[in-house]
Structure 1
Amino acid sequence: MLGTIRKWVGLLLQPSKRWSILTLLVTGIVVGAVGVVGFNFSLQATNTETFCTSCHEMYAQPYQTVQQTTHYNNASGVRPTCSDCHVPHEFIPKMIRKVEAAREVWGSITGMIDTPEKYMAHLDEMKMREINRMRSNDSAGCRSCHDVERMDFAAQSEKARFYHGAMEEQGKTCIDCHQGIAHQYPGMEAVSAVEQAEGQ
């Protein structure tokens, strides 16, 4: 056992007889740099709206529903892409989400939701999974654009002012009241849960 350890330590410490230390070092730096650039490129490429909607089911269903909302067409001209809401911006959560997305790729390959009927059959499950994910990260996707602390409460309706002001003390997050604001499906209005509860 001790001999094996010494052998491995010797291999790590002894430079190659064929290549100089400088050659090995430069090669390692180049390979590492190419790896980092390639990794970042793949992250950026898989965060584009073009990539997200390249699957038929994503283009035919959720992308069409977001086009009916104020997140797609609005006076400000600001329009988030899929990844702005559905992919965390911090590195570790982003990597976790990318691994989780493998399930969605598998679903696309196997045709799990490739027709409107199949998509609607799985819609409630997919919605709840996304709502729960957003609740667990305090609606980080929403908050990357909407900052409650910077809101001008005076410019809001009395109701919005009250609920936005009470969010933290009530333990609420954006998705608790604003489901349907980014994707509209049959029977789902893009109004807050508060307005629905009050019959407006």
Structure 2
Amino acid sequence: MAVVAVFVVVIGLGGAFYTFYNAKGFSYLSSDSAACNNCHVMNEVYDDWNKSSHREVATCSDCHLPHEFVRKWVAKAESGVGHAYAFTFDKNLPTHFTASKKTQEIVQENCIHCHLPYVQNVVNPTLRPEHQDTSLKCVSCHQGVGHSRGF
């Protein structure tokens, strides 16, 4: 029985390491935008980003992940697990992704963070959320800034 258990564990771990290696798992620990292009469904978005005005100043992580250390890694883990599950088990995987409400909020937060000197007359980050008009988002007008396909 012990031999079977060891065999199952070795096969399981070997399969996990093989999958992690082939999926370029370590690349996801970086902030390199090329890691976001490991999946072929991101080719168009990655190509658009490479031609965008933000290519020289912002990575995918700069826009799509929180800037605070703990929030960033929690969001990265949630996204990674979600994508891994979808690519492994979802038979109706979309060819184009749509950002979740949470990701849309992070992108808006990051637009304001980086562009606050220009938008401080329009956006007042010192107001409590219930006192802010959140109906208009930066990407409502600036859709193609990071990549042409909206989120």
TM-score (norm 2): 0.56
1:108 paired with 2:87, answer yes
Task: State how 1:91-106 maps to structure 2 within 5 Å.
Answer: 91-101=69-79, 102-106=81-85
Task: State how 1:32-51 maps to structure 2 within 5 Å.
Answer: 45-51=29-35
Give the one of 139, 151, 174 matched to 2:108. 139
Find the aligned partners of 1:93 and 1:81 in 2 and give their Cα distance. Answer: 17
The secondary structure found in structure 2 opposite 1:136 is helix
Residue equivalent to 1:70: 53
Task: Write out per-residue CA displacement over residues 111-164 of structure 1, whole angstroms, 9 at most, x where no aligned residue.
Answer: 7688xxx414xx4xx14x1xx3255347232234322xx23xxxxxxxxxxx86
Structure 1 regions of 5+ residues with no counterpart? 1-41, 73-77, 152-162, 189-200
Find the aligned partners of 2:32 and 2:140 in 1 and give their Cα distance. Answer: 27
RMSD between aligned residues: 3.4
Find the aligned partners of 1:137 and 1:64 in 2 and give their Cα distance. Answer: 22
Q: Could you tell me which amino acid in structure 1 is paired with residue 44 of structure 2? A: Q
- 1:181: how far off? 2.3
TM-score (norm 1): 0.45
Find the aligned partners of 1:113 and 1:70 in 2 and give their Cα distance. Answer: 33
Q: Could you tell me which amino acid in structure 2 is paired with residue 52 of structure 1? A: C
Residue equivalent to 1:119: 95
The secondary structure found in structure 2 opposite 1:183 is coil
Find the aligned partners of 2:47 and 2:95 in 1 and give their Cα distance. Answer: 13
The higher relative CO (CA closer than 8 Å, separation ≥ 6) is in: 2
